[in-house]
Amino acid sequence: MSSQVVSQTSYEIPKTQRAVTFAETHGPHTIQTDWPVTQPSELKPGEVLVRVVYSGVCHTDLHAWLGDWPLENKLPLVGGHEGSGYVAFIGPPLEGAEPCTLKVGDAVGIKWLADSCLHCEECGKGFESSCGQAKNSGFSVDGSFQQWAVSWGAHLTPIPAGFPLANAAPILCAGVTVYKALKEAAILKGEVVVIPGAGGGLGHLAVQYAKAMGYRVIAIDSGAEKEKLLASYGVTDFIDYQKGDVVEAVQKLTDGAGAHAAVVVASGSQAYEQALQYLRPHGALVCVGMPPNADIRANVFWTVVKSHRIIGSYVGNRQDAIEALELAAAGKVHTTFTIEPLANLPSVFERMHALTLNGRIVLDLQ
């Protein structure tokens, strides 16, 4: 393995690099050793070259490889959108835009949202991910499963000083996604939020952000290891979905009243069906996990009578990412992760698909 990558005021940029790519949906992954590096002279206005040090692996990366979504990604593709590293070179400024405030050597994060126009109504309201010109890392543009990645200065997220890059990586998608979803639930301190999929990559962060925001957490997952992991975060209400009726268990834990919100990060559609049954009146179902070919079936009468809110929550905006990182850097949220080499990515996908991963996997790209 190469020497530790550190912040520098200048970088010697190679012609080639290590990367993991695939050329067809559900096709073989190729461990590249001579993948081309975009050279400084090739950077377009607004683009920044980042020396990626670590990259988290998200379930979205697996969905892209499997072709689960009704959207087409670029091929061949370098996946990944939880990249943490350092600014290595800054391209020319965009015409009419403010100069880039980043400096070479700054610690930054590459997120799912790689770029947006920042001028349309959606961007103006803070919904940059819904911009008609949005680009997505590791989907429509190459992402962070490579040592040198091109991103866009306006959307790179500064990483707080002293916060380890490996710890920051999972926050850049998993963390900001669940943080935004909890904000969308719009519940009050002390109220009950149920988190199906609580022991996974998104879920183990969601329970911590929920507790940091003052909510009472009921965690749903399966297995003694995940129960133990969640207990280490102070979660006392755990439901094993393989050992009984989930709806009945939530009702029992809430004295029959039901939950104020459910933030579903599970990858199975049954979690959505159950949530609509255990929500109390005026409860919110916040949809985050995206099982392939899944639908939400809500009875119109009871949705109206109970005034349920069904909310789709995409990734957070630029400010959400800053806030999510600040909470983690302050020690209020701790990522449980294992560092593995970049070449292990195919194995990581196999374990993720089998639902055997606890916490998050972070790839070392040094």
Structure confidence at residue 1 (pLDDT): 40
Do 256 and 305 belong to one domain? yes
- 126 and 223 share a domain? no
Shared domain for 182 and 308, answered yes or no, is yes
- Measured CA to CA, the distance from residue 322 to residue 139 in angstroms comes to 23
H helix intervals, 186-268: 203-212, 224-231, 246-253
pLDDT digits (tens, 9 = 90+) for 87-145: 999 999 888 777 788 999 999 999 999 999 999 999 999 999 999 999 999 999 999 99
pTM over 0.85: yes
Q: What is the pLDDT of residues 10-46, one digit of tens each?
A: 999 999 999 999 999 999 999 999 999 999 999 999 9
Note down the domain range covering 296. Answer: 175-312
**154 and 41 within one domain:** yes
User: Which tops the pLDDT comparison, 194 or 358?
Assistant: 194
Residues 280 and 345 in one domain: no
* 32 within 8 A of 79, measured Cβ to Cβ: no
Considering the domain architecture, whether residues 183 and 304 belong to the same structural domain is answered as yes
Radius of gyration of the chain (CA): 20
- Quote the pLDDT of residue 293: 81
Burial 180-194 (b: 16+ CB within 10 A, else e): bbbbbbebeeeebbb
Q: Does residue 244 fall inside a structural domain?
A: yes
CA dist., res. 83 & res. 257, Å (int)? 42
Among the candidates 312, 328, 344, a domain finishes at 312
> Both 186 and 127 in a single domain?
no
Among 296, 312, 328, give the residue marking a domain's end: 312
**Residues 281 and 357 placed together within one structural domain of the fold:** no
* Confidence band, pLDDT 50/70/90 cuts, at residue 336: confident
Query: Residue 144: what pLDDT?
Result: 98
Mean pLDDT score of the chain: 94
Question: Has residue 28 been placed in a domain?
Answer: yes
The answer as to whether 164 is a domain residue is no
210 & 297 share domain: yes
Reported as a single tens digit per residue, the pLDDT across 235-287 is: 999 999 999 999 999 999 999 999 999 999 997 889 999 999 999 999 999 99
Instruction: Please count the structural domains in the chain.
Output: 2
Give pLDDT, residue 80.
Answer: 98
Q: What CATH number is given to the structural domain containing 26?
A: 3.90.180.10
Q: What percent of the chain has pLDDT over 70?
A: 99
In a domain? residue 319? no
Q: Which pLDDT does position 292 carry in this prediction?
A: 76
Has residue 167 got a pLDDT over 60?
A: yes
Element holding 286 (H helix, E strand):
strand 279-287
Confidence of residue 3 (pLDDT cuts 50, 70, 90): low
Tokens representing 91 are 């391209």
Q: Average the pLDDT over 196-212 and give the result.
A: 94
Q: Are 198 and 226 in contact (CB under 8 A)?
A: yes
DSSP 315: -
pLDDT at 74 over 50: yes
Does the residue 344 lie in any domain? yes
pLDDT at 268: 83
Asked whether residue 31 falls in the same domain as residue 68, the answer is: yes
Domain assignment present for residue 141? The answer is yes
Establish if 291 belongs to a structural domain: yes
Q: Does a cis peptide bond (omega within 30 degrees of 0) precede residue 76?
A: yes
Instruction: Kindly provide the residue ranges of all beta strands, DSSP E only, lying in 23-165, ordered along the sequence.
Output: 29-36, 47-56, 77-78, 83-90, 107-110, 113-115, 135-136, 148-152, 157-158
Residue 204 sits in a domain of what CATH number? 3.40.50.720
Question: How many CB atoms lie under 10 A from the CB of residue 292?
Answer: 12
11 in a domain, yes or no?
Answer: no
179 shares a domain with 154: no
Residues 134, 57 share a domain: yes
Given 312, 328, 347, which residue is the final one in a domain? 312
**Does the pLDDT at position 201 exceed 90?**
no
